């Protein structure tokens, strides 16, 4: 299914201004698994008829992993270059597909002169549900399925967004279960703070394996994620436990797309 | 008269010594770099009222919360009684409030006695949790001999003080019933009167016990006061300013370094002249004096409860990192720096630093910046800020990051992504034919 994904450059050439910019993020752009989520977010935007655009090749890393790893120079170089691009297109509102991009642009760009209204895609989905523009009809039924939601640190504790992603699951009529460690007590997947890009320090197990115990205990067959890094870590965890047949890890956007048959 | 003079001397000495040691801690805290936490006083007062006074973050662990609440309320309210003891001590009076307050005094003393029992119970439960049940939270590499003993000392001192308080009241009550000397009838002493059968019946013996416990109790309190600056128990004071000066931003937001902003702007725009603010500072933190005063205040506020470490994903999975250790190391190091200043003067360096001499690189790089430790702290301490500052030093001053992290930096710099993909391929995801 080919869908319409305009870039800001194309829009600007036509003299048009989209309602919202979809900030895809590096994982969403390059990671094969995350690319599917990226396309699903576009499907949702197209389905509800929101005028949007992406930066395409003009997008660059927000600088988040550099900042968490202590490279403030690199972070601010990235941030200022991105702010120049965003401001040149007079961007006002941004939806991100990644909690790390979301946190960085929303909270750390204003101090460097970049002021935008920033939401995470789970918040967009919540808004669309609240407005009645998204339902859970016409697609795959999640009725009665045991689903648990894994809170990404930079969405949950980092920005106190706990309810929006759960809202997207509540309309499924599924059997929602919380893990022992959830919401503000949620356990990290192990990828944050630039851990995604290095081997873990010596320990007795990997953090995603520790998280798997919570998932297995919840008896969920679907683990809902809202972050591409969590997605990678959770899928590796499922693989590690040889539960690929029993447990699916799906992003909130993917679940929404499936439920609506988009 | 001699007793009064003795009391005043002890009291004055205790207050002098305490002020001196608190002054030293204050001086040490102010060795930190500046940080502006003067904004939004209304929200700050509210935060302090909620978190320090109201202890709202303790609730996550209900048993500990209830027991801690007993000790906390007991401590604050029994202080009213200490006020009376002070006045009696200075003026040689006895239970000076009993006459003017009348029936209310009876009620108050009764209340204090019930609180004393609750405090005693809580202290015993806490001792059991630490020494018999051996909760995992109270162990760990940083929980060496001293921190463990410190915790036990505090509980034992509190038990002794409460026991002395109740025994004193019991003897006093019995003397009142004997109509002995100045021991005027002051109330029913609902809890301590139960101890009466254990006490002698002679007035002389009772008076000895009453006076003995009175002196033990008040000298004990003054000694305990002077123990605070050396102990994790200092949190009973610092919890208040520490929560007042809380970081009011969202936890996900890390500070933007203004010193870097100037340099980056100058790089992007050669005509930009960055503001020069005195001598150039080190990027990030190598030692405690590179941290802000707030980081250092937090180090002195930490009561080593280990809630942070018990939720740290790195620690849970057996890595070296322990957020509690980060705070304890910071406190131990700033104390050492302060002692060096006292001994050798301001310009002395011992060639030691927080990084490497206290906190290792292995700990530093195990952090996922997940903020679980920050969320867990009942008094809003932020170990993550210190970890970040140490990382900043390691990366920007020393270029000493793990090799894979350096690769990531290189990728972000060259390709605009943390992986080795070409920026030109960034929009390939949109190709319809790769859709599932």
Q: What CATH code is carried by the domain that includes residue B413?
A: 1.10.1060
Residue B38, in any domain of the structure: no
**One domain for residues B375 and B289:** yes
**One domain for residues B310 and B333:** yes
**One domain for residues B228 and B358:** no
Query: Over 90: is that where the pLDDT of B81 sits?
Result: no
Q: Which of the residue ranges A52-56, B44-48, B180-184, B334-338 would you say has the lowest mean pLDDT?
A: B180-184
Closest CA to B85 of B187, B158, B10: B10
Chain B positions touching A30 (Cβ under 8 A) are 417, 419, 421, 425-426, 429
> Nearest chain B Cα to A2, which residue?
B432
**One domain for residues B309 and B237:** no
Chain B positions touching A186 (Cβ under 8 A) are 372
DSSP A243: -
Which A positions 151-210 lie with beta carbon below 8 A of chain B?
153-154, 157-160, 184-188, 190-207, 209-210
Number of domains in chain B: 2
Mean pLDDT of B21-40: 97
Task: Say whether A233 sits in a helix, a strand or coil.
Answer: helix
Residue B225, in any domain of the structure: yes
Assign a CATH topology to domain A8-126.
Answer: Rossmann fold (3.40.50)
Task: Say whether A260 sits in a helix, a strand or coil.
Answer: helix
Q: What angle do CA B19, B20, B24 make, to 5 degrees?
A: 110
**One domain for residues B112 and B188:** yes
What is the CATH number that goes with domain A135-260? 3.40.50
**One domain for residues B213 and B324:** no
pLDDT tens sequence across A159-181: 999 999 999 999 999 999 999 99
Residue B43, in any domain of the structure: no
Which B positions 342-381 lie with beta carbon below 8 A of chain A?
362, 365-372, 374-375
**One domain for residues B143 and B264:** no
Chain B positions touching A188 (Cβ under 8 A) are 313, 368, 370, 372
Residue B118, in any domain of the structure: yes
Q: How many residues are there in chain A?
A: 262
Residue B345, in any domain of the structure: yes
**One domain for residues B166 and B128:** yes
d(CA A211, CA A234): 8
Tell me if chain A has a CB within 8 Å of the CB of B399: no
Domain enclosing residue B300, as ranges = 258-421
The C-alpha R_g of chain A, in whole angstroms, comes to 18
Chain A positions touching B251 (Cβ under 8 A) are 157-159
**Nearest beta carbon to residue B368 from set A29, A72, A190:** A190
Which B positions 283-312 lie with beta carbon below 8 A of chain A?
283-284, 311
pLDDT at A127: 97
Q: How far is A63 from chain B (nearest CA, A)?
A: 8
CB pair distance less than 8 Å for A61 and B318:
no
Task: Say whether A180 sits in a helix, a strand or coil.
Answer: coil
**One domain for residues B220 and B126:** yes
Query: Over 80: is that where the pLDDT of B37 sits?
Result: yes
Q: Does A135-260 match A8-126 at the fold level?
A: yes
**One domain for residues B173 and B297:** no
Q: Which long-range contacts (CB under 8 A, 24 or more apart) does B348-354 make?
A: B352/B287, B353/B286, B353/B287, B354/B285, B354/B286, B354/B287, B354/B288, B354/B291, B354/B329, B354/B330, B354/B390
**Nearest beta carbon to residue B313 from set A28, A80, A187:** A187
Domain end call among B218, B244, B270: B244
Residue B253, in any domain of the structure: no
pLDDT at B436: 47
Query: Over 90: is that where the pLDDT of B409 sits?
Result: yes
% of chain B surpassing 70 pLDDT: 98
Question: Which ipTM was obtained for this model?
Answer: 0.96
- Indicate the domain borders of chain A: 8-126, 135-260
Mean pLDDT of B194-203: 93
Contact A224, A256 (CB under 8 A): no
Domain end call among B211, B244, B277: B244
pLDDT at B432: 55
Chain A positions touching B314 (Cβ under 8 A) are 201, 203, 207
Residue B377, in any domain of the structure: yes
Which A positions 112-151 lie with beta carbon below 8 A of chain B?
112
**One domain for residues B66 and B204:** yes
pLDDT at B281: 81
């Amino acid at each position: 299914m080919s869908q319409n994904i305009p870039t800001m450059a194309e829009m600007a050439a036509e003299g048009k201004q989209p309602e919202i910019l979809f900030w895809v993020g590096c994982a969403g752009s390059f990671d094969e698994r995350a690319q599917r989520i990226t396309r699903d977010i576009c499907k949702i935007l197209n389905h509800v008829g929101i005028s949007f655009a992406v930066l395409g090749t003009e997008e660059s890393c927000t600088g988040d992993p550099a900042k968490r790893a202590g490279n403030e120079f690199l972070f601010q170089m990235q941030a200022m270059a991105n702010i120049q691009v965003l401001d040149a297109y007079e961007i006002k509102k941004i939806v991100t597909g990644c909690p790390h991009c979301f946190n960085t642009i929303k909270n750390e760009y204003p101090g460097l002169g970049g002021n935008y209204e920033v939401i995470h895609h789970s918040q967009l989905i919540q808004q669309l549900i609240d407005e009645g523009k998204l339902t859970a009809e016409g697609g795959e039924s999640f009725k009665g399925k045991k689903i648990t939601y894994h809170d990404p640190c930079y969405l949950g504790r980092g920005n106190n967004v706990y309810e929006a992603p759960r809202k997207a699951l509540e309309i499924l009529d599924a059997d929602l279960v919380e893990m022992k460690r959830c919401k503000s007590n949620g356990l990290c997947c192990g990828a944050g703070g630039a851990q995604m890009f290095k081997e873990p320090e010596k320990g007795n197990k990997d953090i995603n394996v520790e998280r798997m115990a919570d998932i297995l205990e919840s008896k969920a067959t679907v683990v809902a994620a809202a972050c591409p890094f969590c997605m990678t870590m959770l899928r590796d965890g499922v693989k590690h436990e040889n539960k690929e047949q029993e447990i699916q890890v799906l992003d909130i956007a993917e679940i929404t797309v499936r439920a609506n048959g988009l | 008269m001699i007793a009064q003079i003795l009391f005043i001397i002890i009291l004055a000495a205790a207050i002098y010594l305490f002020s001196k040691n608190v002054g030293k801690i204050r001086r040490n805290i102010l060795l930190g770099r500046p940080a502006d936490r003067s904004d939004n006083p209304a929200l700050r007062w509210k935060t302090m009222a909620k978190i320090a006074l109201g202890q709202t973050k303790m609730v996550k662990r209900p048993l500990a919360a209830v027991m801690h609440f007993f000790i906390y309320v007991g401590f604050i309210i029994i202080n009213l009684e200490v006020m009376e003891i002070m006045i009696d001590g200075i003026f040689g009076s006895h239970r000076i409030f009993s006459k003017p307050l009348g029936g209310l005094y009876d009620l108050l003393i009764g209340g204090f006695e019930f609180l004393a029992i609750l405090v005693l119970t809580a202290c015993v439960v806490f001792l059991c949790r630490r020494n018999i049940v051996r909760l995992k939270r109270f162990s760990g590499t940083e929980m060496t001999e001293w921190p463990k003993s410190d915790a036990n000392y505090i509980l034992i001192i509190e038990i002794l003080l409460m026991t002395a308080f109740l025994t004193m009241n019991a003897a006093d009550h019995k003397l009142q019933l004997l109509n002995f000397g100045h021991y005027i009838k002051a109330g029913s002493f609902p809890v301590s009167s139960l101890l009466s059968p254990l006490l002698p019946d002679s007035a002389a013996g009772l008076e000895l016990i009453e006076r003995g416990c009175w002196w033990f109790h008040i000298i004990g309190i003054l000694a305990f006061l002077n123990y605070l600056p050396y102990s994790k128990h200092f949190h009973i004071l610092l919890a208040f300013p520490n929560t007042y000066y809380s970081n009011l931003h969202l936890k996900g937001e890390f500070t933007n370094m203004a010193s870097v902003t100037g340099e980056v702007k100058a790089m992007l725009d050669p005509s930009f002249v960055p503001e020069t603010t005195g001598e150039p500072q080190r990027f990030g933190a190598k030692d405690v004096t590179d941290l802000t005063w707030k980081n250092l205040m937090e180090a002195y506020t930490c009561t080593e409860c280990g809630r942070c470490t018990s939720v740290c994903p790195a620690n849970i999975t057996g890595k070296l990192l322990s957020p509690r250790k980060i705070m304890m190391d910071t406190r131990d190091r700033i104390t050492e720096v302060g002692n060096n200043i006292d001994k050798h003067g301001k310009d002395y360096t011992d060639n030691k630093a927080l990084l490497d001499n206290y906190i290792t690189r292995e700990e530093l790089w195990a952090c996922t910046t997940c903020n679980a430790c920050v969320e867990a702290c009942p008094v809003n301490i932020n170990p993550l800020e210190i970890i970040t500052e140490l990382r900043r030093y390691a990366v920007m001053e020393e270029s000493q990051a793990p090799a894979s992290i350096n690769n990531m930096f290189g990728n972000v710099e060259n390709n605009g992504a943390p992986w080795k993909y070409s920026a030109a391929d960034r929009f390939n995801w949109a190709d319809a034919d790769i859709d599932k």
